[in-house]
Each structure stands twice: as C-alpha cells, then as structure tokens.
Amino acid sequence: MRTFQRLMGLAVAAGVALPLTATTTAAQAASVTTWDKVAACESGGNWSINTGNGYYGGLQFSLSTWNAFGGGQYADYPHRATKKEQILTAEKVLAVQGEGAWPTCGPRAGLGGDTAEPYPDPPAPAAGSVWDRELSVSGQWQSAATHVDENTRINGFAAAGLPDGSLHVQTLVNGDVWNRVRSASGVWQKAATKIDDNGSLKGVSSAALPDGSLHVQTLVNGDVWNRVRSAEGVWGNAVKIDDNGGVTKVSSAALPDGSLHVQALVNGDVWDRTRRVDGTWTNATKIDDNGSIKDVAAAALPDGSLHVQALVNGDVWSRSRGAGGAWDRAAVKIDDNGGITDVSSAGLADGTLHVQAVVNGDVWDRTRRVGGSWTNASKIDDNGRIFDTYAAALPDGSMHVGTIV
C-alpha cells in the first residue's frame, strides 16, 4: 500500500499530469469484483477510510491524483465519494498508468488481466410493434389481436378510453411520444401523431377524465410531466408535476369525480399524487413502502374506488383507496405466480377490475368481481414474446388490452 501511495502522490506532485489518452499497459478497464480485491488489499475494503496519512478512500488516492484524474467532479476528497465514483476515477488512472499504479495490490488482484467494464451501459430496452385485443361487453375476447402500430421500435406505451368512446394509444419511440386514435366506431387512425418530441422520455402513462380531456404523463430524468388534450382535441404544453429526480415508473387513473391520481415508483416504493377537480395538485403521498416494487399500474372503478397494483418478486399485490379517500392498511397479494414481469389494469363500467400479468411472454387476465372476490387467471394471449401491456376500458363496457411484440 505504501508503494502505491508514493507512486500516486509523486505523479502529480512532480507536476506530471499524464494525458488520459496515453497508456503504459494494455489494461483499460476492470470489473467491480477486481476493484473490490484491490481495495481489500489497499484499505481493507473501506471505501470511506481517512486515517490522516494523506491518502483516502478504498483505493488510497492522494488528493493531487484524485483531482488530476477528474475525481473532484464527484467530491472534494476521495473518501467522500461513492464507491462507484472512486472506481470510475481509478479507471482513468488504470488507462494511463496500468496496474503498476498499484504495484503490489494491482497484480495481486489481477487488475492488468481484467478488461471488463465495471459499470457497462444498460442493455437497450426491448422494442417491438403494438397489437390490440378487445374484450366485448358480452365477455368474449377478440379471436386474434389487431396489429395497430407496425413501427417495431416502440419500447413503451399506454392507453386511455375517452367518454366519447374513442381509444387513445400513446407509444414511446426514441424518447418521443406518439398518439394513435381508435374512433368510437372502431376505425384506427392511419398514422400516429407526435405529441411530445422531448427525445429523452423513458416512460409514459395516461388517463381520461369525465370532462373528455386526456392526460398523458411522461418520465424525463426521473421527473414526471403531464400534458393535456382538451375535450376539443387541442394539446397543451407539458407541465412538470413531480421533480423527485428518481422516478422510474409512472401510472395513472382518473376517478368519476373528475380527479386524477398519478403514481410514481421511487426506490421500490409507490407514491400517489392527486390532481384535484379544480386543476391544482396535491403533494405526493407514499402508499406502499415495500422497497422492492418493480412495476406499478392503476385503475378506477365506477364506485369511486382506486386500485393500485404493485409487482414484487414476480407477484402482484393490489392496494385500494375507497371512495371516501382512505387507503387500505395493507396490500393484498392477488397473483403469486412468481414469474410475472409486467402488470396493467383497467376498471370496467360494470364495476369489475381486470388485471393483466405478463408471464414468459404470455398475457394472463384476472378479474375482481363487484363483490371483491377474485377469479383465477386466464391466458388471453399466448404469443410468447410479449414484454409490455396496457389495458383501457371504454364507456360501452368493453376493454382493450394492448401488447408490444
């Protein structure tokens, strides 16, 4: 460790700031596992260590080297930076000086022979085209899904049924949102209309209010924005309604009283924010602090209740808010499959609630009867390649379930 400290301190103390494009070995990157081994050797694996000897953090940077290789963008001292920030800075040192910057601990950990990126870019989200299947008022499923958008680059979507009987489907393509309409007579609009060209959108949800307006929520840099289409068909500008910065999923549902509820998933917990009838927004309220929730959906029933579904460890839980505004004390597990990867839901005009679950690329539908009891799940689409679903109810009592394949 002391040899490493002298080397790291000397490189900058002598006024030698090596260009980051220069290399002295083939080592360019290393996995987190290997960096953990280096830290175990250098500092006992203590990433926040500061013994007062002039070297800091898990990898024992001198302050001069920390600043020379860009660590100052993260923290004033190395030990005050996160493990990831220390490793990212050390990657730059490795690219210039090789494992010799840690003459004892580097070779011992195999630093020079590991070329894996410690924090690789996440894989691109799955993408496909949109299909729509209808459940009629009589309870019969359409024999085959209809291909309503052949774009093939769609990686997220949402849908809402308006009081006039039309269905609006929003699709997320390359960070922009497009809207496609199915008229009350069942005719699909030939081409989608771009309603948000932000370019950085990561999620979308939507809900229609009784006054005929459509509200589309989008997720940008962890914040939630809301864009309104008036009953006359005019789109307004997006308004930021949640600046948390850490939102990863969003869902929404409109209640019969004209209020709108938007749910945000943050660090595995679900928060609910309400748009009052007068257009003002409440603060967000945490309604589920599970900490491990991966997806969220919501639907309102004609009785004024709101039902929010949460996906935890491949199972679906539902929590209800009564018409009076009180939330159930605990969520109820409604599907213990263990392999569910996506969830959606819709409340029908007859008072039933339908929840869809994606399992191994197929879609299953489970119904909550008006009395509150649940049916068994039924497979409604055995495509095998589905990764996302939406559900939307229309005023005539029918329901549409969309899939991305």
**DSSP string spanning 195-214?**
EE--S---EEEEEE-TTS-E
- Round to whole Å and give the CA distance between 258 and 271: 20
What b/e readout covers 46-71, taking b as 16+ CB neighbours within 10 angstroms? ebebeeeeebbbbbbbbbbbbbbbeb
Identify which of 65, 56, 54 has the alpha carbon closest to the alpha carbon of residue 20.
65
Is residue 161 pLDDT above 60, yes or no?
yes
Higher pLDDT, 18 or 71: 71
In the three-class reduction of DSSP (H, G, I as helix; E, B as strand; rest coil), residue 324 is classed as coil
- Smallest CA-to-CA distance from 275 within 196, 214, 328 is with 214
What pLDDT, on the 0 to 100 scale, is given for residue 18? 32
* Contact present, 177 and 216 (Cβ < 8 Å): yes
Retrieve residue 309's tokens. 């579904």
Tell me the mean pLDDT in the region 193-210: 97
Tokens in use for 399? 């329901």
What tokens appear for 266 in the block?
């943050």
- Best CA proximity match to 389, nearest among 345, 336, 348, 353: 345
Q: What is the pLDDT of residue 340?
A: 98
- Whether the per-residue pLDDT at 5 is higher than 50: the answer is no
Per residue in 32-86, pLDDT tens?
999 999 999 999 999 999 999 999 999 999 999 999 999 999 999 999 999 999 9
Q: What's the confidence (pLDDT) of residue 38?
A: 95
**What is the arithmetic mean of pLDDT over 370-393?**
97
- pTM metric for this prediction: 0.75
pLDDT beyond 60 at 10: no
How much is the pLDDT for 129? Answer: 97
Question: Does residue 320 contact residue 366 with C-beta atoms inside 8 Å?
Answer: no
Helices (H), 224-265: none
Name which of 189, 245, 241 is nearest 215 in CA terms. Answer: 241
pLDDT band at 255 (very low <50, low <70, confident <90, very high): very high
Cα-trace Rg, the chain: 26
H/E element holding 93? helix 83-97
Q: What is the pLDDT of residue 12?
A: 33
- As a whole number, mean pLDDT of residues 291-304 equals 97
Residues 6 or more apart from 186 whose CB is under 8 A from it?
none
Task: State both tokens at 102.
Answer: 């840690």
Q: How confident is the model at residue 11 (pLDDT cuts 50, 70, 90)?
A: very low
Taking only the tens place, the pLDDT of each residue in 106-128 is 999 999 899 899 988 777 779 99
Residue found under tokens 């559900």:
391
Query: Hey, what are 381's tokens?
Result: 């689409």
Tokens (6 digits) for 81 = 């930076």
pLDDT at 222 over 70: yes
What mean pLDDT is reported for the chain? Answer: 91
Q: Which two tokens stand for residue 100?
A: 């010799």
Beta carbons of 23 and 95 less than 8 angstroms apart: yes
* 329/296 Cα distance (integer angstroms): 18
pLDDT number for residue 151: 95
CA separation for the pair 34, 352 (Å, rounded)? 54
pLDDT tens digit sequence for 354-364: 999 999 999 99
Question: Could you tell me the two tokens for 68?
Answer: 């020379």
Residue 207, both tokens: 């809900």
Nearest alpha-carbon partner for 321 in 302, 333, 306, 300:
306
